[in-house]
Amino acid sequence: MIGHPRTPGRHRAGLAPATVPHRLWDGPARAEADRLGQTWKSWTILYGLGSRRFYAMAAWSMPEALIVSDPTPEGLEAQMHNAEMIQILQRQPYAPALAEAGRS
Inter-residue contact 65 to 48 (CB < 8 Å): no
73 pLDDT higher than 90: yes
| Burial degree of 96 (CB within 10 A; 0-12, 13-18, 19+) | exposed
Inter-residue contact 57 to 66 (CB < 8 Å): yes
* Bigger pLDDT: 51 vs 92: 51
Residue 97's H or E segment, with its range, is helix 95-103
pLDDT tens for 7-20 read: 656 667 777 777 87
CA distance 35 to 41: 10
pLDDT tens for 12-70 read: 777 777 787 888 889 999 999 999 999 999 999 999 999 999 999 999 888 889 999 99
pTM of structure: 0.68
pLDDT at 60: 87
